[in-house]
A and B are shown apart, each in its own frame.
Chain A
């Protein structure tokens, strides 16, 4: 499934997580002295990090209006453990466990408060890697495929509340009221093949330029190219493009997508993303999307307005458009962002369903 994220059984993950965290804490406690008297030889390490991102989502589908308590799927609540060590002067190796816990994900909650989010940790990354200074990096396990993120390059500073994956804000709200067509059925940013069980290779960076390839479960293949560079004056540029094939997807044969973002030294920024899919056989649909964001960042404040359109994602002749605005205030030294974003969604489809209006306001605290 393109850009899919699958959960896995609660008991297994929770048990694994408890074991890992418990063992880590116990190990850290026994080694506390060693850490405090570290000689500076940081050749092996085990680190814990994470964040909580909660928000209020107000949605109006034209029939009902409601305030919902959600986990902001633009940047979900999660924890991460990373073990890293050096095998020799050229090669480092590591392992990463990253899991998320979304109670009422903003991407799938419906107007009546029903959420498909599992009440348990779900996997994001369960992987090992080997990083060679001259030969590149190799990953094995569940994690980002080569093309994951190619549609989502964004330097605006407002991605915590809005970026090209606009369904993260209120994707489960349905056109035409409950039982209608949800936003996430008519829009996709075609972001590669997401995270999966895969093997992935990244070339070393050539002046900021990296090519990645991966092979994931069920005959999925992808290739991507990325670039990130900055000028002396502070202007930054980043971009990515990816091509993905999923032989196991019965509908989508292949997909190409990409995005670019530029942040000028003045604080003005521009972000764009596009993608197209080729469907199996002689399907009448011709799915495509385009996204454009204009923003301004000054100090700890970032503003943006954006528009997006997706054609024939759900069916031929069904077109979707959306316009939004966002504001983010960052407290960088405290690892905290507060934000608010609003978005008006329209669907051009038989029956002319009412527009959907949604506002997401909340805070992300990285602990």
Chain B
């Protein structure tokens, strides 16, 4: 594991790497999907609220 903090120059390299990964992914037929972070309420149905997983208190 790298233990020396990379600094701003290192951060730029990280971002360029991630950016290139995104470009490559976009060009290789990978489709984006909506990832739900683990600390969020899970998507999907609720026991009582049903398919939407939430109660609609008001909508118009």
A residues touching B (Cβ–Cβ < 8 Å)? 24-25, 27-28, 31, 34-35, 38-39, 41-51, 74-75, 78, 80, 82, 148-149, 152-155, 159-160, 163, 205-209, 211, 223, 225-232, 236-238, 241, 243, 254, 256, 274, 276, 278, 286, 288, 290, 332-337, 364-367
Contact = CB atoms under 8 A, between A and B. Distances in A.
Range of interface residues on B (Cβ < 8 Å): 35 or more
A336 B2 CA distance: 40
Contacts of B34: 228
A47 B57 contact: yes
* Chain B binding surface, main DSSP class: loop
A207 B58 contact: no
A238 to B, nearest CB: 5
Given A27-B58, A75-B38, A207 B53 contact: no
Nearest to A50: B41
17 contacts: A46-B59, A48-B55, A51-B42, A205-B32, A209-B19, A223-B15, A227-B21, A228-B32, A231-B29, A232-B31, A256-B6, A276-B1, A290-B1, A334-B47, A335-B42, A335-B47, A365-B47
A207 B25 contact: yes
A336 B48 CA distance: 11
Lowest 6 A-B CB distances belong to which pairs? A208-B32, A209-B22, A207-B26, A228-B35, A49-B54, A28-B57
Contacts, number: 172
Contact of A276 (B3, B29, B59): B3
A207 B37 contact: no
A170 B18 CA distance: 34
B25 A367 contact: no
Given A31-B60, A228-B32, 13 more contacts: A31-B58, A45-B59, A46-B58, A47-B55, A48-B54, A75-B39, A149-B39, A152-B37, A206-B26, A225-B14, A225-B18, A231-B29, A366-B46
Interface of B: 1-3, 5-6, 11, 14-15, 18-19, 21-22, 25-26, 29-35, 37-39, 41-42, 44-49, 53-60
A165 B2 CA distance: 20
Contacts of A231: 29-31
Contacts of A27: 57-58
A207 B32 contact: yes
A179 B40 CA distance: 33
Contacts of A337: 42
Contact of A367 (B6, B22, B29, B47): B47
A208 B25 contact: yes
Contacts of A163: 38
